[in-house]
Amino acid sequence: MGRGYNLLFILVTFLVLVAAVAAQGNRGSSRGGGRRPHVGFYGNRCRNVESIVRSVVQSHVRSNPANAPGILRMHFHDCFVNGCDGSVLIAGNTTERTAGPNRSLRGFEVIEEAKTRLEAACPRTVSCADILTLAARDSVVLTGGQSWAVPLGRLDGRISQASDVALPGPNDPVSKQKQDFAAKTLNTLDLVTLVGGHTIGTAGCGLVRGRFFNFNGTGQPDPTIDPSFVSLIQARCPQNGGTRVELDSGSVDRFDTSFLRNVRSGRVVLQSDQVLWRDPETRAIIERLLGLRRPFLRFGLEFGNSMVKMSLIGVKTGSDGEIRKVCSAIN
């Protein structure tokens, strides 16, 4: 009798311990728990997370189409500085938002509105980093691009410093671009494909004017530019005027391969984009994405694959991050 009671006590104790460990694991996974992000992360805890974000993004893109490339660019800028942790969203005098390359970012109000709606539906559950990642995907889809499944489960970073912002530049040679992307575990196919995101959006005239009027101090335009395109951009970005110019001339609001065709034709405004055609490796990838070289690549599919890879750079999980109450401020 006594021996049987002892065995029963041991068994019950063991089951209680197993249940406690499982419960702790579930609590950890709800906040990241050290697990990698994955599709369907929120499950029943926030079943409508994707539809809520999509609804907000759709409303803002319809009212102002510039929000689509703005959100996509913001996601890139977030991921390339200390990982995809929503740190670019934090407001403050010395945060990432104040760094030169980020001062022209747009779409912060879109992410904040989505966060407000999600806090009402699923309090303290969905991170701002995940909202921005979903919003970037939805921005592509809303402009005609192909959708992809988004892994979720990132936490928000607690650090945002302007001094940490070091992004690829508009005049970078291909070698520098490859180096920067490789440092983020992205390969040359990812580089070309993600740069293809320039099929939507605009660039400030200040970034491109020199290339069209005084390339490398020569007093002449970059000779690799299509001559008819030179006069077009000079008219839109004169030396003493102009504001912004399309990154993808003729298809600025449509997510397609038009930008890559313009790279091939010497009709893009950024030097860092045009040099991709002069490098044998990146040129071959462009040709494959355009169906000009075998084996062919599907731009929509490859873009989604590369976006997933980028969205997993330096993600915060477990004790490394938090879920902010509002996206612009650390808890």
CA distance 217 to 186: 33
**180 among the known binding-site residues?**
no
CA distance 276 to 155: 34
**198 among the known binding-site residues?**
yes
**273 among the known binding-site residues?**
no
Q: Which two tokens stand for residue 191?
A: 């580089």
CA distance 89 to 329: 8
- Candidates 72, 62, 225; CA nearest to 139 is 72
**113 among the known binding-site residues?**
no
Does the active-site annotation cover 77? yes
**257 among the known binding-site residues?**
no
**Annotated active-site residue in 38, 60, 75, 77:** 77
Q: Are strands 244-246 and 202-204 parallel, antiparallel or unpaired?
A: antiparallel
CA distances in angstroms from 225 to 163, 232, 270, 273, 322, listed in the order given: 34, 11, 10, 11, 47
Helix (H, G, I), strand (E, B) or coil at 199: helix
Residue 295 preceded by cis peptide, ω within 30: yes
**322 among the known binding-site residues?**
no
CA distances in angstroms from 34 to 26, 155, 205, listed in the order given: 11, 10, 44
**83 among the known binding-site residues?**
yes
**208 among the known binding-site residues?**
no
**88 among the known binding-site residues?**
no
Contact 286, 263 (CB under 8 A): yes
Contact 244, 236 (CB under 8 A): no
Contact 139, 69 (CB under 8 A): yes
Helix (H, G, I), strand (E, B) or coil at 156: strand
152: which strand partners? 38
CA distance 81 to 63: 30
Q: Which residues are annotated as a binding site for substrate?
A: 168
The catalytic residue positions are 77
Task: List binding-site positions.
Answer: 78, 81, 83, 85, 87, 96, 168, 198-199, 248, 256
Q: Which residue positions form the known binding site for heme b?
A: 198
Binding site as annotated, residues for Ca(2+): 78, 81, 83, 85, 87, 96, 199, 248, 256
